[in-house]
C-alpha cells in the first residue's frame, strides 16, 4: 500500500445504513470503516442517508465520501449520481458501472458480450411470470436451478429450485424484492470470491477466498450471523487455477467499467474446474465476516490500511483523467 497523508483527505462522511434491504449489513460495514478511519487520524463522521438528506453533506462541510451502503440507493448509481452533482468525490465505481453491476442481468449481458464465463440464464420481466411460462424455465436451464431478484444482494430472495412445482414459490419470493426475476443455471461446485482494487491498468486482484458453507448453503444467515461457514484464504486452489480466476475477475471488473474496488463472486464447476462469474459487488461488505478485508490481510494489508487506501481513491466521473505516469 502507498503511504498516504491522512491530513490531505479532509472531512469525510461514511455513508451507512440507507433504505435498502441490506440496511442492517451496511450499518455493520460502516461502523467498522468509521472506526478504522478514525483510528488512523482521519476526520471521519457517520452519515445515514435514510435519516439525513444528502444535501446536508455540502452544508456540513464534507469534502470526501466513503460509501459503505449496500444494495439499492447505495451501490446502484443513484447515490453516486447525487454525489456527482454535488461535486463530492466518493469511493468505488461511478454512476454507470454501479448501475450495471447492481443489475445481475445487465452484468451478465456485458460479460457474455466480452466472452467471459457466466451461467446460462432466463430473465422474467413482470409481464412474463405466468405459471405456464414458469414451467418452461427448467426445460431451458435444467434442474436444479437458481431463482433470484436481479437487483438485490446478500443472498436476499434467492431460492434453489429442485423441481417444477417449486418454481412458482421461488419466483414469488424473488418478486417481493424486484419486479423482474432472474433464473440461472445451477453450477455444482466450489464457491469462491475475489476482490479487485485499483482502476484501469493499475487494477489488481487480491487473493481468492474459498467459501465452505454448512450443507453448501451460503445464505444470508450463514453469510453474516453464524460462525459455521469456513473461509479459506489462502484458497488452497492450485496456483495456476488461482491466477486464471484472478485474470478473469480483473477482466470482468474492467468490462463493467469499475474503479476503486469491487469483489466478484464465482463458482468453480466440479465436473471440469471451469469458473463461472455470478456477480460483481461494487460496494462490498466490510463487516467482521466480510471477505475483502480477509483477502487483503492475506496480501499483507490491514483493515485500517485498506480503508484509508480506498478513501484516498475517492473520485468523480467528471474528474479529469490523470496523465500517464502521474
pLDDT band at 296 (very low <50, low <70, confident <90, very high): very high
What number is the average pLDDT over the span 61-79? 95
Does residue 196 carry a pLDDT above 80?
yes
How many domains does the chain divide into? Answer: 3
Residue 31 annotated to the active site: no
Are 234 and 147 found together in one domain?
no
DSSP one-letter string for 140-170: HH-SSEEEE-TT--TTTT-EEE-SGGGHHHH
Are 193 and 164 found together in one domain?
no
Containing domain of residue 45, as a range? 6-92
Are 242 and 106 found together in one domain?
yes
Does residue 217 carry a pLDDT above 90?
no
Relative to beta strand 204-205, strand 189-197 is antiparallel
The pLDDT of residue 22 is 87
Residue 154 annotated to the active site: yes
Query: Does a structural domain hold residue 222?
Result: yes
What number is the average pLDDT over the span 165-189? 96
CATH number at residue 154: 3.30.1490.20
Specify the range with the lowest mean pLDDT, choosing from 7-16, 174-183, 220-229.
Answer: 220-229
Catalytic residue, chosen from 263, 283, 295, 309, is 263
Ranges assigned E (strand) in 36-142: 44-47, 64-67, 121-124
CATH number at residue 258: 3.30.470.20
The pLDDT of residue 229 is 85
Rounded Cα–Cα distance for residues 287 and 55 (Å): 27
Catalytic residue, chosen from 32, 77, 260, 285, is 285
Are 163 and 194 found together in one domain?
no
Does residue 222 carry a pLDDT above 70?
no
The pLDDT of residue 125 is 96
pLDDT band at 119 (very low <50, low <70, confident <90, very high): very high
Catalytic residue, chosen from 177, 218, 224, 253, is 224
Rounded Cα–Cα distance for residues 234 and 299 (Å): 9
Specify the range with the lowest mean pLDDT, choosing from 47-56, 265-274, 287-296.
Answer: 287-296
Does residue 31 carry a pLDDT above 70?
yes
Does residue 167 carry a pLDDT above 90?
yes
Rounded Cα–Cα distance for residues 52 and 63 (Å): 17
What number is the average pLDDT over the span 195-217? 90
Percent of the chain with pLDDT over 70: 94
Are 138 and 257 found together in one domain?
no
Catalytic residue, chosen from 17, 18, 22, 189, is 22
Are 254 and 287 found together in one domain?
yes
Rounded Cα–Cα distance for residues 175 and 171 (Å): 6
DSSP one-letter string for 253-279: HHHTT--SEEEEEEEEETTT--EEEEE
- Return the SS3 of 293: helix
Are 109 and 80 found together in one domain?
no
Rounded Cα–Cα distance for residues 293 and 300 (Å): 10
Boundary-marking domain end, from 92, 109, 137: 92
Catalytic residue, chosen from 76, 180, 190, 265, is 265
pLDDT band at 213 (very low <50, low <70, confident <90, very high): confident
Rounded Cα–Cα distance for residues 163 and 151 (Å): 24
The pLDDT of residue 226 is 57
The pLDDT of residue 218 is 45
The pLDDT of residue 109 is 98
Residue 273 annotated to the active site: no
Does residue 239 carry a pLDDT above 60?
yes
Does residue 326 carry a pLDDT above 50?
no
The pLDDT of residue 173 is 96
- Return the SS3 of 294: helix
Specify the range with the lowest mean pLDDT, choosing from 81-90, 102-111, 216-225, 233-242.
Answer: 216-225
Q: What is the average pLDDT value for the chain, to the nearest integer?
A: 93
The pLDDT of residue 316 is 97
Residue with cell 445504513: 17
Amino acid at each position: 500500500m502507498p503511504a498516504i497523508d491522512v491530513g490531505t483527505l479532509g472531512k469525510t462522511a461514511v455513508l451507512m445504513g440507507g433504505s435498502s434491504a441490506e440496511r442492517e449489513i451496511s450499518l455493520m460495514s460502516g461502523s467498522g470503516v468509521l472506526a478504522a478511519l478514525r483510528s488512523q487520524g482521519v476526520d471521519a463522521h457517520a452519515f445515514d442517508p435514510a435519516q439525513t438528506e444528502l444535501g446536508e453533506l455540502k452544508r456540513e462541510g464534507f469534502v470526501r465520501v466513503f460509501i459503505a451502503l449496500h444494495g439499492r440507493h447505495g451501490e446502484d448509481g443513484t447515490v453516486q449520481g447525487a454525489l456527482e452533482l454535488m461535486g463530492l468525490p466518493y469511493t468505488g465505481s461511478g454512476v454507470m458501472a454501479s448501475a450495471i453491476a447492481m443489475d445481475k442481468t445487465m452484468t451478465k449481458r456485458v460479460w457474455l458480450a466480452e466472452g467471459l464465463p457466466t451461467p446460462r440464464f432466463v430473465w422474467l420481466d413482470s409481464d412474463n411470470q405466468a405459471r405456464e411460462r414458469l414451467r418452461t424455465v427448467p426445460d431451458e436451464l435444467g434442474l436444479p436451478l437458481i431463482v433470484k431478484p436481479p437487483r438485490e444482494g446478500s443472498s436476499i430472495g434467492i431460492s434453489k429450485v429442485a423441481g417444477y412445482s417449486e418454481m412458482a414459490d421461488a419466483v414469488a419470493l424473488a418478486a417481493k424484492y424486484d419486479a423482474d426475476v432472474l433464473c440461472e443455471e445451477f453450477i455444482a461446485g466450489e464457491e469462491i470470491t475475489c476482490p479487485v482494487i485499483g482502476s484501469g491498468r493499475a487494477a489488481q486482484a487480491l487473493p481468492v477466498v474459498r467459501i465452505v458453507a454448512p450443507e453448501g448453503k451460503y445464505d444470508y444467515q450463514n453469510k453474516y450471523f453464524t460462525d459455521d461457514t469456513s473461509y479459506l484464504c489462502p484458497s488452497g486452489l492450485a496456483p495456476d487455477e488461482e491466477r486464471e480466476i484472478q485474470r478473469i475477475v480483473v477482466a470482468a471488473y474492467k468490462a463493467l467499467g469499475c474503479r476503486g474496488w469491487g469483489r466478484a463472486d464465482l463458482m468453480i464447476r466440479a465436473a471440469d474446474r471451469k469458473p463461472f462469474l455470478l456477480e460483481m459487488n461494487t460496494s462490498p461488505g466490510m463487516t467482521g465476516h466480510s471477505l475483502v478485508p480477509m483477502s487483503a490481510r492475506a496480501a499483507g494489508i490491514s483493515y485500517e490500511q485498506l480503508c484509508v487506501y480506498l478513501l484516498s481513491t475517492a473520485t468523480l466521473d467528471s474528474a479529469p483523467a490523470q496523465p500517464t505516469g502521474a
